[in-house]
Structure 1
Amino acid sequence: MVSEGALRAHLVAARLAGVVATSRERSLRSYRLFAARDPRVLLGLDPERPWGLGELLRLMADRCGVSDDPEYVAGPDVIDPELTLRALRAFADRVGEAAARRSPVLLGTGHPHRLLGFYAALADALSAAGCAVLTPAEGRRIDITTRFGVRTHTLGYVRGVAFVREAEARRPGCETGAHAHSPLPVRTALMAAADAGGPLPGLVVGDHGWVCGAGQLGFEAIGPADTDDPALFVGEAEGLVSVAVPLDDAVRSDYYLPLTRYVLNRACLSQ
């Protein structure tokens, strides 16, 4: 059993919360792009109303704990570990509810090198609890626009967790997929599930476009988000995302293990 005190200490020590690696400059750039409705940071979300830079800064201070001082423009960003713990409780409760209902679930990540193990443990536990872990559209081609131009990817699954690989990338080191923000993978998976006559997920668990893309389409979606990912927190504020957990989403993969244990324990899914 992972106590909240021990988890809080781990969050800060591993820089999952507290002072994080994401810079203030990077976060502010994302907020400006979001305010301008740049699709690179909307992650598939279509906000109901305009969000100005000042309002976004206040929201991120409230949901993440970043400084709300507009004069603070350079240096490290900060996540309040208490806000991370509060959101993790809600995240675990949603996972537990899905398990109790034996709801079909879809899990996907744009951070396969970091978060695949976290989601895979959830997939294993949900499957053991009787949930169908969905894997629609495996191998399907997806063309994603990146800063380097349009790149062709394929949708893959490992242990029930979806991610994308660059179609031509079969070189060593690419087995666990590509970093991606796009909502196209989740849209492709959901469309394939619908075309096949279901089942459709009762819960989508993931990050980046997996959460915002699913939430925008009306599916319950939960997942972690860094300080430079305002879309998930705007989606939560507008009722399209059920839970956004503030944490650094790009630390070493083993640093997420205590979070995995905490979520599974609270969701009554420990094996």
Structure 2
Amino acid sequence: MTTESGAGARVNCVVDAEGRVALELPAPVAATRPHLLLRLRPKKGEPVTVSRTVPLEAVADGPARAVLEPLPALEEGRWDAFLLNGPDDTAPERLRPGLRDLRALVDGHLRDRPSPVAVRIPYVTKEGYLAVRAWLRTAHAEAGRIDVGDRSTTVTARLHGATFEDGAVVRLRMRGSDAPERDVRPVTDGDHLGFRFTVDHEDLAAGTAAEGGIWDVFVHPAAGAPPIRVARLLDDVADRKASFVHPAARAAGAVLRPYYTLDNDLSIRVATG
């Protein structure tokens, strides 16, 4: 459970294991029809086109509460939170975080998820405002332990919303057009959900261009099945790129390091030269 300081309207939130987000403004709201407004943050330079409103149940001289139910799921992306004082409010107020109780999310990787896999994590933006990070994927491969050795890296993971069948492969795909790929056979558990795979450092370095590159990690759970991105989403960490730093390894004149992207997807960076 965490708190944040600073001026502005504040909202406490509690998330349960099903993804339900309960929000409470400790101070009374001076509005007749207050709503919580969530806006999906657009790409830079583009207008806001997707939003969601949730009514705040105001109590006289008491807090106002809103519950964001698990369904319908939020589209994947970052949703900024605002207080909307009425249906005609053209200047909604940006909300700041109060107490954030995310304890139910900490062990989320221990629960198997059906398809589609929907995840939402309230977090604090760089500017100190409340937002919700959401993922929505047909299926998901949750990365677990990552062991970086001298010659290879082994990743343990688990499928959600899919199961392994014949012909499964883990595919590392270098970013860019006409980019090379490397296929690795996963070793699967008896339940056809858990798996692990090992990446040979010299092989990956040999397949990387002289200027270096980034290999994104996918799993195809069956021959011809669509790719499932390997990522780490099922806990309480909305942004793990800077906070989860893995050791680097050297091979064939290159430095290799697994890392999580801005979307918490697993990739391997290879720097050559």
TM-score, structure 1 length as denominator? Answer: 0.28
Higher relative contact order (CA 8 A, sep 6+): 1
Relative to its length, the structure with more helix (as a share) is: 1
Greater strand fraction, Structure 1 or Structure 2: 2
TM-score (ref. length: structure 2)? 0.27
